[in-house]
Amino acid sequence: MNDLCCGRRGEYDLVVIGAGSAGFSAAITAAESGKRVALIGHGTIGGTCVNNGCVPSKTMIRAAEAIHGATAAHRFPGLSGMARVDDWAKLVAAKSDLVSTLRQKKYAGLLPGYESITYIDEGAARLVEGGVQTGTRMIRAPRIVIATGGRPALPPIPGIAEVPRLDSTSLLELEKLPESLLFLGGGYIGAELAQMMARMGVKVTVVCRSRLLPRAEPEISETLSRVFCDEGITLHCGVTYDSCHREGERAVLRVENSEERLELSADHLVITAGRSPNTEGLGLAGMGIETDRRGAIIVGDDMATTRPGIFAAGDVTNRDQFVYMAAYGAKLAARNALSGETHRYDNAAMPWVVFTDPQVAGVGLTEADAKLAGHKVKTSVLGLDNLPRALAARDTRGVIKLVADAQTDRLLGGVVMAPEGSDSVQTLAMALKFGMTAKALGETIFPYLTTVEGLKLAAQTFDKDVARLSCCGG
Q: Binding site for NAD(+): what residues are annotated? A: 185-192, 274
What residues contact 473, with CB distance under 8 A and at least 6 apart? none
Q: Residues, the chain, total?
A: 474
Question: Exposed (0-12), middle (13-18) or buried (19+): which is 27, by Cβ within 10 Å?
Answer: buried
As annotated, the binding site includes 58, 185-192, 274, 315
As annotated, the binding site for FAD includes 58, 315
| Cβ proximity of 338 and 13 under 8 Å | yes
Task: Please give the angle made by the CA atoms of 404, 328 and 326, to the nearest 5 degrees.
Answer: 95
CA neighbor of 188 nearest in space, from 169, 172, 171, 168:
168
Distances (CA, A) of 326 to 14, 182, 237, 435: 18, 30, 31, 25
Task: Please give the angle made by the CA atoms of 181, 187 and 188, to the nearest 5 degrees.
Answer: 95
What residues contact 417, with CB distance under 8 A and at least 6 apart? 220, 223, 224, 358, 359, 360, 361, 384, 397, 398, 399, 400
DSSP of 37-101? EEEE--SSTTHHHHHHSHHHHHHHHHHHHHHHHHHGGGGSTT-------S-HHHHHHHHHHHHHH
DSSP of 232-277? T-EEEES-EEEEEEEETTEEEEEEE-SS-EEEEEESEEEE-S-EEE
What residues contact 204, with CB distance under 8 A and at least 6 apart? 180, 181, 183, 194, 195, 197, 198, 232, 233, 234
Residue 256, φ and ψ in degrees, nearest 5? -130, 140
| Cβ proximity of 398 and 417 under 8 Å | yes
CA neighbor of 399 nearest in space, from 224, 254, 174:
224
**CB neighbour burial string for 103-134, b if at least 16 within 10 angstroms, e if fewer:** beeebeebbeebebbbbbbeeebbbeeebbbb
